[in-house]
Amino acid sequence: MNRRSIIIALSTILGTPANAHPHIFVDTQLEISFNTTGEAEGVRITWTYDDLTSLQFIADRGMDEDFDGKLTLTETTALSGFDMHWDEGYPGDTFASNRGAPLQLSGPSNWTAAYANEKITTSHFRRLIPPVALGSDPLVIQVYDPSLYSGYYIVGKPKVVGRADCKAEIQRPDMKAANEKLDAAIAALPGDVENEFPALGAIFAEGVLVTCAARS
Distance CA 145, CA 1 (A): 18
Record the pTM: 0.83
User: Which of 20-29, 63-72, 114-123, 175-184 is predicted most confidently?
Assistant: 114-123
CATH architecture of 3-212: Distorted Sandwich (2.70)
Cα 93 from chain centre: 5
pLDDT in tens, 120-153: 999 999 999 999 998 778 999 999 998 888 999 9
- The pLDDT-based confidence of 1 (bands split at 50, 70, 90) is very low
Q: Of 28, 8, 6, which Cα lies nearest the Cα of 18?
A: 8
Q: Sketch the domain layout of the chain as residue ranges.
A: 3-212
Distance CA 172, CA 178 (A): 11
Please compute the mean of the pLDDT values over residues 177-201 and round it to a whole number.
67
pLDDT in tens, 35-84: 999 999 999 999 999 999 999 999 998 998 888 888 999 999 999 999 99
Helix (H) or strand (E) holding 110: strand 109-116
Q: End-to-end alpha-carbon separation of the chain, Å?
A: 48
Measured CA to CA in angstroms, residue 93 lies from 101, 170, 201 at distances of 17, 17, 10
Phi, psi of 97 (to 5 degrees): -150, 160
Would you say residue 27 has pLDDT above 60?
yes
Phi, psi of 142 (to 5 degrees): -115, 145
pLDDT in tens, 155-177: 999 999 999 999 999 998 776 77
